[in-house]
């Protein structure tokens, strides 16, 4: 985005300088010193840029405040922030760019012969009789309108190249943002969904399941925080024996079940050594500490199908000293988690990290260890747990839940209950959908920049082409032909720009995105390019109406001075 903003400023500044070539030539002919000319026109460019920059900053701040307010309505909290890094970088880089590029063009014009300076953006030595080669020749053979549009593009190839660069960058950003948004949305949606089985019901003490459900809600609501002081999950009246729920086997709609233990523990990062493929090694670890939830599970019975880097160790005995940690904990608490270990103070034991999972529980800051090791370290009996999970068939009805409530009341007591997790899981998935609003709004902004640039390209050289159009109208050409010529000229910028964006955008996405993302069908990127082409083509057509309206106001008298 910074690169695009910089190039747009440089291109527009250069275009302004080139549009002043005739004025510069007249001032030189009257005896103005080149140094005075440089300072005069560069000052004009700087004044325009500085005024426009601060207007843009003001509009940007206002738009950002509206943007954050809209996102906050979707429960996606975005804090309003003042930018003291990228804005100064953009300002000073543009100041330097104006001095270098338009300054170079200005100095080159100042060194030209005065007669050559009258040519503006069209080369002074351009010859209309010069043959057209390669692709332009093939396009010209289609018809007269195509031939004139090609000739006009070649006459102003400097302007064509400048806008080709701008449109290429705009198209690359739009395509990369669009394809990246699709890929990341579908991938993250599927990853989170894999950690949240459908038709999942959690059973336990009312305090336990309430706080446990809040630990899932933390994923999409930053105002929720369950801490170590909030609840002690291992209080005796929270625990129950797995045998107390043996009657659950009488409910045929239950697909599977699982028992767990959960509690908060003080965790410490254990340093390690990361080995590189070339034989080099790196000592890693910063002795970080924190309090996080630890869940005791039987790895072979776990209901979730987590997206995992590494593996769940399922061998009995071997898995006792292995832990699987969430992605939030892995990437904020460790340097290379799969090469490190984690120490739990209350257990007084070290667990090697065998895998990193994408998990929505506690925003990915939870750890999973063997449930038997959990019981052993906490001096619990072999059947004690504080959570039970059951997964129902999709056709399960309300009668099943009534049976479930009766079994829980009779087996565990009135203080125990169950909770359907689907509503919370749905909110988490909706949160993923809301996240896609951020790049979507950027796509809208970039599209607006593209539309404005397209309009400026069409009307930018209108003074140089209007004589030709007046002659064409005088010999009987219709406005429809002129409109078609202008449409084709813009199309020559749009098509190669979209072609470049398709190739470069797919390379950028394949390099930057993770290897395990869910890539869409090959038809998706081509459909995206087709959509961009349709949008640009539509606005290319619509922008012709104000341009044609302006053309109709010109007469031969407007050119008598030349």
pLDDT tens for 388-432 read 999 888 777 778 888 888 889 888 988 999 999 999 999 999 888
Please report which confidence band the pLDDT of residue 561 belongs to, taking 50, 70 and 90 as the band edges.
very low
- pTM of full prediction above 0.75: no
- 3-class DSSP state for residue 217? helix
What pLDDT, on the 0 to 100 scale, is given for residue 358? 93
73 has a pLDDT exceeding 70: yes
pLDDT tens for 33-67 read 667 777 888 888 999 999 999 999 998 888 888 88
Please report which confidence band the pLDDT of residue 317 belongs to, taking 50, 70 and 90 as the band edges.
low
Q: 402: how many CB neighbours lie within 10 A of its CB?
A: 10
Q: How far apart are CA 188 and CA 198, in angstroms?
A: 17
What pLDDT, on the 0 to 100 scale, is given for residue 454? 66
Q: 484 with 146: CB under 8 angstroms?
A: no
- In this prediction, residues 64-79 reach a mean pLDDT of 76
pLDDT tens for 104-149 read 888 877 776 665 555 555 555 555 555 556 556 667 677 777 777 7
181 has a pLDDT exceeding 50: yes
Q: Which two tokens stand for residue 220?
A: 């999409």
What pLDDT, on the 0 to 100 scale, is given for residue 459? 62
Q: 367 with 256: CB under 8 angstroms?
A: no
93 has a pLDDT exceeding 70: yes
What pLDDT, on the 0 to 100 scale, is given for residue 371? 92
Which of the two residues, 315 and 284, has the higher pLDDT score?
A: 284
- In this prediction, residues 302-311 reach a mean pLDDT of 89
Tell me the pLDDT of the chain averaged across its residues: 82
How distant is the alpha carbon of residue 489 from its chain centre? 32
Please report which confidence band the pLDDT of residue 524 belongs to, taking 50, 70 and 90 as the band edges.
confident
Q: Which two tokens stand for residue 73?
A: 């309505």
Please report which confidence band the pLDDT of residue 359 belongs to, taking 50, 70 and 90 as the band edges.
very high
Q: 106 with 37: CB under 8 angstroms?
A: yes
Which of the two residues, 74 and 264, has the higher pLDDT score?
A: 264
562 has a pLDDT exceeding 50: no
Which of the two residues, 307 and 278, has the higher pLDDT score?
A: 307
- In this prediction, residues 331-353 reach a mean pLDDT of 92
pLDDT tens for 450-505 read 777 766 666 655 555 666 667 666 666 777 887 888 788 888 888 888 888 888 88
The ranges assigned to domains in the chain are: 1-120, 128-196+425-562, 197-420
Q: Which two tokens stand for residue 499?
A: 């072609």
- Kindly report each contact of residues 376-383 with a partner whose C-beta sits within 8 Å and lies 24 or more positions away, as own/partner: 377/344, 377/346, 377/347, 377/348, 377/349, 378/234, 378/261, 378/263, 378/346, 378/347, 380/234, 380/239, 380/261, 381/241, 383/241, 383/242, 383/243
- In this prediction, residues 75-85 reach a mean pLDDT of 77
Q: What is the CA radius of gyration of the chain?
A: 33
């Amino acid at each position: 985005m910074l690169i695009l903003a910089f190039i747009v400023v440089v291109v527009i500044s250069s275009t302004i300088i080139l549009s002043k070539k005739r004025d510069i030539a007249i001032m030189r002919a009257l005896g103005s010193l080149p140094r005075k000319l440089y300072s005069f026109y560069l000052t004009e460019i700087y004044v325009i840029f500085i005024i426009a920059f601060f207007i843009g900053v003001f509009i940007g701040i206002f738009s950002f405040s509206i943007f954050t307010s809209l996102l906050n309505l979707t429960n996606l909290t975005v804090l309003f922030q003042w930018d003291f890094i990228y804005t100064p970088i953009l300002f000073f880089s543009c100041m330097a760019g104006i001095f270098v590029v338009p300054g170079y063009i200005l100095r080159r014009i100042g060194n030209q012969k005065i007669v050559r300076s009258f040519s503006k953006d069209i080369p002074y030595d351009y010859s209309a009789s010069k043959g057209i080669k390669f692709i332009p020749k093939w396009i010209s053979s289609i018809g007269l309108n195509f031939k004139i549009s090609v000739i006009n593009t070649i006459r102003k190839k400097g302007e064509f190249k400048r806008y080709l660069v701008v449109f290429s960058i705009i198209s690359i950003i739009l395509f990369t943002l669009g394809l990246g948004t699709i890929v990341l949305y579908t991938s993250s949606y599927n990853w989170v969904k894999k950690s949240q089985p459908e038709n999942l019901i959690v059973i336990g003490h009312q305090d336990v399941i309430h706080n446990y459900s809040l630990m899932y809600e933390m994923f999409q609501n930053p105002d929720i925080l369950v801490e170590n002081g909030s609840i002690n999950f291992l209080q005796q009246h929270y625990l129950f024996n797995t045998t107390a729920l043996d009657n659950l086997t009488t409910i045929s709609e239950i697909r599977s079940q699982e028992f767990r233990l959960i509690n908060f523990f003080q965790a410490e990062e254990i340093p390690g050594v990361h080995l590189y493929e070339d034989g080099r090694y790196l000592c890693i670890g910063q002795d970080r500490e924190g309090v996080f939830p630890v869940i005791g599970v039987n790895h072979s019975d776990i209901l979730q199908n987590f997206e995992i880097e590494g593996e769940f160790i399922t061998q009995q005995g071997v898995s006792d000293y292995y832990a699987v940690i969430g992605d939030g904990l892995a990437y904020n608490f460790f340097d290379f988690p799969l090469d490190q270990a984690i120490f739990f103070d209350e257990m007084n034991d070290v667990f090697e990290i065998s895998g990193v999972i994408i998990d929505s529980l506690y925003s990915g800051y939870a750890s999973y260890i063997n449930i038997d090791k959990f019981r052993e370290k906490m001096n619990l009996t072999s059947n004690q747990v504080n959570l039970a999970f059951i997964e129902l068939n999709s056709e399960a009805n309300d009668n099943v839940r009534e049976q479930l409530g009766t079994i829980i009341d009779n087996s565990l007591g009135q203080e125990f209950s169950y909770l359907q997790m689907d509503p919370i899981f749905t909110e988490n998935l909706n949160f993923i959908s809301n996240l896609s609003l951020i790049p979507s709004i950027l796509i809208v902004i970039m599209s607006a920049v593209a539309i404005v640039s397209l309009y400026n390209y069409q009307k930018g050289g209108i003074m140089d082409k209007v004589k030709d159009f007046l002659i064409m109208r005088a010999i009987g050409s219709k406005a429809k032909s002129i409109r078609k010529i202008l449409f084709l000229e813009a199309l020559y910028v749009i098509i190669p720009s979209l072609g470049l964006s398709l190739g470069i955008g797919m390379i950028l996405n394949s390099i930057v995105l993770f290897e395990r993302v869910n890539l869409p069908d090959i038809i998706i990127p081509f459909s995206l390019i087709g959509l961009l082409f349709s949008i640009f083509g539509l606005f290319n057509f619509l922008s012709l109406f104000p341009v044609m309206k302006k053309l109709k106001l010109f007469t031969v008298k407007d050119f008598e001075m030349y």
